Structure 1
């Protein structure tokens, strides 16, 4: 946590809200000089001061303590995607990992295969887009045929399965929140 610049975060949140230093100091019931010292890294705020600043800025207190993301970790190069195979389905993770509130992947379904024998559900809400091929999706027992360019939203806990009853591989881009597959 030594790399976290709490003062810089306070200043950034303040500016994002459009507050002057005096306005925020008044809202947080601290002196303008104390706020100035915090923002410049000359004073370390107490937990109580962080709480009142967070309340005045309408942000969670812990947001001052989060480490900044290394933006390089947010980029996923096409040749560096994480890949996994589950039975005959292959997945390429488009998002960097599963740590956030959403994950995006490409699922490839070979010809004459299904994602599962029966309809399954999971807690995540999903949106899928057909990149290539033709695929059937079953939603609560209703069958739909999707072609390249079609998309579908699958609500959380809805029973569904994918079936490629055709002669070419289907590629499906999908995002799920929270990450679960």
Structure 2
């Protein structure tokens, strides 16, 4: 099942109209309609808006059948890319769906970065390689290889790869107040 079909099925399972999803996510009804019919691609930022609206993790949209095993291994080949192929920041999901955590591996080209979103939990950032300049509200932090930053994900935040090489970053989010599915 395609990403658009999964979004459409989730909307229908919850008895929502395109307009209701639009009102709650900030995406236009026409975009949502084209997305459900696989006529457009969605950015990571907009997919996050939908995940927050539906109170699911972003990986929910990529999950397959539930596994009956006690553990699950996600190989490098099994990682779900959450970004477009040519995006300056590549984002990969690291955990299986239905986890209480959201973990991502980010690979950011020099000078690239992302604007943060107000979230509903705590965030940990570990720089595996490179250097980031991280802004939380009015405070700014420089993170080098091996540095960790922890914060509540309820304020405006952004970051940029301030180094001259590829930055590789692990992020882990503990989702507070997450609805059980």
TM-score range normalised by the length of the shorter chain = 0.5 to 0.7
Residue of structure 2 in register with 1:144 after alignment: 141
Residue of structure 2 in register with 1:111 after alignment: 110
Deviation (angstroms), 1:69: 5.4
1:122-137 residue pairs with structure 2 within 5 A?
122-137=119-134
The normalised TM-score by structure 2 is 0.54
**Where do 5+ consecutive residues of structure 2 fail to align?**
1-65
Structure 1: 4+ residue segments shifted above 4 A: none
Does structure 2 conserve the Cα–Cα contact (< 8 Å) formed by 1:133 and 1:169?
yes
Deviation (angstroms), 1:71: 2.3
Residue of structure 2 in register with 1:47 after alignment: none
* Distance of 1:92 and 1:176 partners within structure 2: 14
Structure whose alpha-carbon radius of gyration is higher: 1
Backbone CA RMSD of aligned residues: 2.4
Q: 1:165 aligns with which of 137, 158, 162?
A: 162
The normalised TM-score by structure 1 is 0.54
**Where do 5+ consecutive residues of structure 1 fail to align?**
1-67
Deviation (angstroms), 1:153: 0.6
Deviation (angstroms), 1:72: 7.0
Deviation (angstroms), 1:143: 1.0
* Distance of 1:126 and 1:162 partners within structure 2: 13
SS in 2 for 1:135: strand
Residue of structure 2 in register with 1:78 after alignment: 76
- Could you give the per-residue CA deviations for residues 80-131 of structure 1, whole angstroms, max 9, x where no partner exists? 111121653211111012x222111111221112212xx5422231111111
**Cα gap change, 1:72 to 1:79, in 2 (>3 Å):** farther
- Residue 96 (structure 1) aligned with residue 96 (structure 2): yes
